[in-house]
Amino acid sequence: MKIGIIGCGAAGGTAAQFARKTNRNAEIVVYDKEGYGQYSKCALPFVIGGMDWQRIIEFPPEWFRKNGIEYRNEEIYRVDLENGIVEGEKEEEFDKLIIATGASPACPFEANNAYFLRTLDDALAIRKRAEEAKKVIIVGAGLIGMEVAEALIKAGKDVKILEYMPQILPGMLDKDIADYVMKKLNIDVILNCKVKRVDGGTVEGNDCYEADMSIIATGNKPNTFSGKAIEVNERCEAREGVYAAGDCTIIKDFFGRSIVVGLGSIAARQGKVAGSNAAGGDDAILPPILAKTTKLFGIEIASVGLLSKEIDGIAARYLGRDLPHYMGGEEILVKVVADKDGVIVGCQAVGRGAAKIIDRLAIAIYNKMNVKDMARIENAYAPSVAPTFDAIEIACSMIERKLK
């Protein structure tokens, strides 16, 4: 069996590893036009902030070769899915193909002499230019824009963020939670700002803004040979003998929506499934519930499932502390979202341990738990560790009372 894998990101690199674990005899070829091997794209803001770029390389080219995987620093220009043929420096035929070509930055306006962040080379170029810059404009206040802003502010740069939406992190938080986060962040953000044109450090929007450089973080578009995202099932199959994984794919989520994959956590899990199945295994990915987390200026932020604006349901938010009052502790904000029957469909959390709160709610969502049950589940308690009734239980109790 001969397996060809196009791309070596979280999806492609993971696919190669699990194809090898599943089939020790298969011939596996990985095409990677970047040449670094598998690295963490989520860590690119840290590289911009000064981290040694070699630290984020998780599996260098040598690792693949040592494990019997042929690694080629080569770009593929054409794919014949029906016949399993790929064309790079030469044409080659495979029994199974895995498309893991990722995504490219998307920009809804004219942008010249601006920087985008998608690859390690992008991060290194931004870092080099930022060494000479004092003022930086970032267009987009999503996860990437906010994380890059933090890296540059910590490096001593004067950063201004321009965001089209009326809030930061619009794909992750409801506006009330985003507003709470904004009050805690000492950053210069202009909301409701429609950018029309960028040229170097000059940005035309609601006003004309000037800086030494600009960075565009307005989302991504799938990289595919057809120009359209590849629809796959839970086995990551696009068609017989052809699998796809990562940001180039469309998949059904837990709520029945067709979504374009944009999270490294999902891409890696798709890669595991695609690699295993292409090599003869039988695996499937759970439908995604879009668990996300970040930490901005020491503040942990996380979310999972639906936002309240995405469902005609009921929500409750609780602002308290993560320890009993006599222990001090830190402020914690939790918002639970449920449908009209009280079934939990989403959660947002801000504060210490937010990601672990979201992990707990992810299990509740997968099991279609009701707020009534969640409000009664026993949790570990000790004054120095956690309160008797934690923020999740209290928020769920608030929804239960509203339902009554």
Dihedral of alpha carbons 390, 395, 400, 404, sign: positive
Residue-by-residue DSSP string for 252-273: E-TTS-EEE---HHHHHHHHHH
Phi and psi at 172, nearest 5°, equal -120, -30
For residue 20, give the nearest of 79, 88, 74, 68 by alpha carbon. 68
Sequence-distant (≥ 6) Cβ neighbours of residue 303 within 8 angstroms: 172, 173, 290, 291, 292, 293, 346, 347, 348, 349, 358
**Choice among 42, 248, 347, 396 that is catalytic:** 42
Alpha-carbon gap, residue 116 to 58, rounded angstroms: 23
Helix-strand-coil percent breakdown of the chain, rounded to 5?
30, 30, 40
Active-site annotation holds for 396: no
The type of residue at 366 is: Y
The type of residue at 187 is: I
User: Known catalytic residues?
Assistant: 42
